Structure 1
């Protein structure tokens, strides 16, 4: 019995020790909720970011980073405190302004810097430490460190739900984008490559290391700043945009997948051509169109989308389709070019991008494939939350499945209400309008007001119903006389155009709660193609 007790005690202590190590490693990854958005900090509201210069050494053996971020900013008044975000898992060694070390505090993921008495518009922050490890990328983000089949290190970064503070000091709010872009300089051991945003300005050997300098002059959201490390095979071509510009198109995949890279590049070309047809020229022509294979499913990162869909290409008409490749590419227009400043309006990013996915079905599979896709997706909408969240929402509050599917269904319904001759020009006009692109971030009201102004249609009731409530109209069909039927939409105080199929053919008429009467020898079929979200 004593021997059994000692064994049990030893086993229990080993389990406790293992759990302690495991928990310790996990808490290094996610000690707290790194949500972002919400009301902007009053101190940060006084400052605008002009440029980030991020210089990092990536250390695969220790899964850590070491380096600095130089932040160029502007402010209309002299600031007593510069406030940035950086998670406390990193240690800050020093902060420089005007070549001098300045005082700072770093607590609760906030970095407060006391500026020197100068007219400086720049601060350099030196920091480093072990990377926070992603628990469920990309939905719960961080760094993902894996090994490829050749036992090489392979690292991906995802941070849509956490913001840039998990890898760099930043003014970490969705309304803040560096107006003059970013310089991204990475050092890694040979023979590793680091793929990142913008164009590769320089590759340089530094002893047993490689140094890569990427640069973009476009504004960019913090979570779109990204870098992926690995040993990759590259394929590229020159893509001729509908604008006439020739843009580099590049794909990086692991060496083990090099046999699939040419087909992936061809699919990227087809997807880009399809997106351009409906949404206009590729928005970042001075940079590149590119994807890099990542050790997680994927994410939109401006000009360097993450791809981890295992080359699941499916036939679509005369071409092939990769849903993840096409979806993340669509964010170059909806999310990267057209950007919201408040996560409350995140559906503009996800709903319009998801609708762009459905347009691939329309373009290459035809109407039958398109309507089958819409019908399948509409089954998955619980109408549990409004598509638009309350003002000053955090990412966690605003991010839910309906911003994708119901958001896309709203756009599909808008097409049904307007007709193709108005719908497609209106959507393209919005995404091409300089008032709503790049640094000029948008709200839901910007979008809805523009569509109404452009089309000359009063759509307030439509938008208010489908975007701001969880209600949907109830379709009511009542028999009247021998061949008469009364069709109405209950629960709304406005009218929507409905297609009604009768024994005489298909007619289109505005219908509201008062209803309209139709004649038919057979029961009428209302909205046969499923343009509107209706309770039947």
Structure 2
């Protein structure tokens, strides 16, 4: 029987292995390069080449994820090579047989693996020190150890640990350096390219942490991923021990010999079962989420008339509980009503027309919807639903909704309030209350009717009349500024962290200018009885969103570098002209686009029928505002971007040969359809509107738009009705579309790249 390594001697053996490994050049490279990658990751924002992130302010949050991600990639690859080279050295030196007879070779491999893991710990510690020194003393960025160190430990160190265990296991299974490295590389690149967050064991799906919303909304995904890969990597390593060759035996015989130590196969099965259990029971993502489905069948025989809700938020647990009362009018004979739910929220109680009906609904298989039975003979139906739980999302990290201690972000399509798939009367009565910790400032739809405070929690009460059921609520540590644009009250909710930038750039004045421009050219703000609420949101939801009297815009619009873009004394800062012509104009265009949706999208329900949609109208109006505010040179980029996207789409093979789309795999066809639809809605339609402007003249076209807005306010508007109202035909708009000018169209060559795939 092979000699056991005494327990006490094991420490000396481990120390000796660490000393021997650390002398090698490969080990020194494996330590130095991840440390260098940690420091380089501080500029990860700049390396993304994302237009929206250009000039983003570097804070302890926005720079924390980059170093961990960069170091994780470098560390994983280098430690894979180091692990495989060290474990294979006995085989390459033909000393395996001698070691098998002189000691417990399994223990030797375990200690050698532990020595490599120790170097991984040293690498991350050294990287942390270098990160702190460069971040604080060179770049002068505040250092938050709770954010930066937790990322390095959970992402970088864990990635290195997983790599070492996986490579050790693979080598013991195959006893072949080349095959082991090849299999590892396959796993590595699958992780890098995967859209399924549990499989991304090297990195995480998030680009950066939010300076406004903190790390909890994405960090829970990282932690769950790490839990899964603790089991997977340990399982691969343990299976490697089970497969380790014994006395020059082949794989089958070695398996039989090793299996006699019953704890090894038992542990392999246990870890395999744990891995499957954790993967199958992933708690945060719903693949059946209908957030992207725009053609859900609506039962027009039922009309929603009123909704009353009481919702309590528990940010520490990232959960909520709700009681919602719906009132409907329906035709006799209608036997059910469908609701879109959130799969993370579970129904506790259901009352229909005052009678408790726990078994009157069923889940529609393969969807996030339920079908609720109602009395067929009744014309009026009330449904009282109580539910609770934690929200699930369709993907990571672009959330339609999340709840955390720092902020709450709930769009209507997160279905925090279940959505009935019914028609509606001209206006729906919406009222309710939301309760949350009093340190948060809640932004509620419609009009705030009261605020109650009890102990450490506050309740915000609200009411509204809306032509559409699209309630959203948002919360954060907001500062609030009240503004006035003509007769429209504006409430601007923003993070106090970003006050200096907002004031230096005069963003409050631009908000007034945007609203004033639309009121002058289109008509009065549709919800004059409610304030227009402009709300800063976290970077986890990029871009912006517009719903009933609330516009949310991602934090990067309000959180760019001040020192690099603006010069002079801090009390008299002024925008740098170069910056004004580039990123800032794009930010104001985004704001103008989302605010335009208050007129076209909520004020007028624009029926989507490609290319016709509210997106094209919002893009067109934002372009007109930017041209008016900053000049035609500043807005030329958007015109060129539209034209480049449309040209690329129209010159693509599948656009000219639509029947050939049937030959594409379903995923590729869906991708093409989605990109083509995006170009039609966001690029082709604004060009068609510019063509209408050319035909009618700018002044006349705005008069026509104003008349259409007045006629269809709070009503649905189809493309045919729009064309009839302005006195033009579809053929006239399609003929001689507006062309983008200058070489700026070349900027957008990448816009249509997908169509050539």
Q: TM-score, normalised by structure 2?
A: 0.52
Q: Relative to structure 1, is the Cα distance of residues 91 and 527 closer, same or farther in structure 2, using a 3 angstrom cutoff?
A: closer
**CA–CA distance in 1 between the matches of 2:437 and 2:589?**
34
User: What does 1:368-447 align with in structure 2 at a 5 Å threshold?
Assistant: 368-371=633-636, 373-381=638-646, 382-384=648-650, 399-433=677-711, 436-438=712-714, 440-447=715-722
The Cα shift of 1:280 comes to 1.3
Residue 248 (1) aligns with residue 506 (2):
no
Match status 1:285 vs 2:563: no
Offset from partner CA, 1:11-53 (integer Å, 9 cap, x none): 7236878976875675532232424332625xx2310111222
SS at match of 1:357: helix
Matched, 1:218 2:466: yes
SS of structure 1 residue aligned to 2:417:
coil
Going from structure 1 to structure 2, the CA distance change for 1:167 and 1:355 (only over 3 Å counts) comes to same
Aligned to 1:123: 383
Q: Which moved more, 1:324-333 or 1:293-302?
A: 293-302
1:512 is matched with which residue?
A: none
Identify the residue that residue 420 of structure 2 maps to in structure 1.
171
CA 1:141–1:12 in 2, change beyond 3 Å: closer, same or farther? closer
In 2, the alpha carbon distance for the partners of 1:92 and 1:398 equals: 39
Distance 2:722 2:393 in 1: 37
CA distance in 2, matches of 1:412, 1:305: 25
Counterpart of 1:337 in structure 2 is: 603
Alpha-carbon shift at residue 206 of structure 1 (Å): 2.7
Alignment partner of 1:105 is 2:375:
no
Residues 267 and 353 of structure 1: CA distance in aligned 2, closer, same or farther (over 3 Å): same
Structure 2 unmatched ranges of 5 or more:
1-104, 114-164, 170-230, 237-270, 561-574, 656-669, 744-757
Greater percentage in strand: 1
Match of 1:238 among 484, 496, 514: 484
Match of 2:295 among 38, 43, 59: 38
Q: Identify, as 1 or 2, the structure richer in helix.
A: 2
Alignment of 1:51-130 (within 5 A): 51-102=306-357, 103-108=359-364, 109-115=368-374, 120-130=380-390
Q: CA deviation at 1:328?
A: 0.6
Shift of 1:258: 3.4
CA distance, structure 2, for counterparts of residue 199 and residue 527 of structure 1: 43
Which structure: larger Rg?
Answer: 2
Distance 1:345 1:359 in 2: 22
User: How much is the aligned-residue C-alpha RMSD, in angstroms?
Assistant: 3.5
> Bigger CA drift: 1-10 or 320-329?
1-10
Contact kept in structure 2, 1:346 and 1:398, CA below 8 Å: no
In the other structure, the counterpart of 2:456 is 208
Cα distance in 1 for partners of 2:425, 2:388 equals: 23
Q: Structure 1 residues 57, 527: closer, same or farther in 2, change over 3 A?
A: closer
In 1, are the aligned partners of 2:307 and 2:325 still within 8 Å (CA)? yes
Q: 2:442 aligns with which of 186, 194, 202?
A: 194
Shift in CA distance, 426/383, structure 1 to aligned 2, threshold 3 Å: farther
Shift of 1:81: 2.1
Which shows bigger deviation, 347-356 or 71-80?
A: 71-80
Q: What is the CA–CA distance in structure 1 between the aligned matches of 2:407 and 2:277, rounded to whole Å?
A: 24
Name the TM-score, length of structure 1 as normaliser. 0.72
Q: Distance in 1 between matches of 2:421 and 2:627?
A: 38
SS of residue matched to 1:62: coil
User: What are the equivalent positions in structure 2 for 1:315-326 lying under 5 Å apart?
Assistant: 315=580, 322-326=588-592
Q: How many angstroms apart in 2 are the aligned matches of 1:178 and 1:122?
A: 19
The residue aligned with 1:308 is 554
Aligned mates of 2:378, 2:288 — CA distance in 1 = 36
3-state DSSP of counterpart to 1:112? strand
Are the counterparts in 1 of residues 362 and 371 from structure 2 also a CA contact under 8 Å? Answer: yes
1:292: Cα distance to partner? 1.2
CA distance in 2, matches of 1:227, 1:299: 12
Is the Cα contact below 8 Å between 2:642 and 2:682 reproduced in 1?
A: no
Verify the 8 A CA contact 2:484 2:512 in the aligned structure 1: no
Equivalence for 1:155: 408
Runs (5+) with no aligned partner, structure 1: 147-151, 242-246, 387-392, 467-472, 474-495, 499-525, 531-536
Q: Is the 1:49–1:179 Cα contact (8 Å) retained in structure 2?
A: no
Q: 1:2 aligns with which of 101, 106, 111?
A: 106
* Corresponding position of 1:185: 433
- Give the equivalent residue in structure 2 for 1:489: none
Task: Out of 275-284 and 105-114, give the one that drifted further.
Answer: 105-114
